[in-house]
Amino acid sequence: MNDLDFMNEALQEAQRAKELGEVPVGAIVVHRGEIIGRGCNQPILRHDPSAHAEMMAIRQAAQHLGNYRLPECELFVTLEPCIMCAGAILHSRIARVVYAATDPKTGAAGSVINPFADCRLNHQTQVVDGVMAHESADMLRAFFRERRQAEKERKKTVV
């Protein structure tokens, strides 16, 4: 499998998040070509602000390997990681992050800030952006458009 195949798997996780009523972000962790962690956004469902797709996938991968360090792993995620997730990625020693769409409001892989580029940190993670960016961005735009439309409809029925 290649980056496109793995990002397609992450997009399937994003679709799962959407079906749960969450913002459609999905992530997978790959170790030596095998998917060992999957996650989709679930902060609303779990009442947990840390239940981002990346965090869920990293937790599952760490359990799979029996180690909190994931140095031979790659993370594929449909949206640029936030600062919380970037911290977890760096602390878990993930070797490579591949993300689809940029996040100009909270992106922590170059859009707003970039701890991955800070050579003062003791771990360096390679970052690749833009893999299937259009597909991910389209899914996010459609989700928020549908949410705004539903809110308009709800307001109409209340009045």
82 annotated as belonging to a binding site for a ligand: yes
Using left for φ > 0, alpha for ψ between -120 and 50, and beta otherwise, residue 21 falls in: left
Is 70:40 a contact under the CB 8 Å cutoff? no
Helix axes 53-65, 3-19, angle to 10 degrees: 120
DSSP state of 79: E
52 annotated as belonging to a binding site for a ligand: yes
Strand, coil or helix: 17: helix
Q: Report d(CA 68, CA 25) in Å as an integer.
A: 23
31 annotated as belonging to a binding site for a ligand: no
Catalytic residue status for 54: yes
The tokens of 132 are what?
Answer: 């299937």
Catalytic position from the list 22, 54, 74, 80: 54
- Residue 84 buriedness (CB in 10 A; 0-12 / 13-18 / 19+): middle
Known catalytic residues? 54
Task: Summarize the annotated binding site as residue ranges.
Answer: 52, 82, 85
Task: Summarize the annotated binding site for Zn(2+) as residue ranges.
Answer: 52, 82, 85
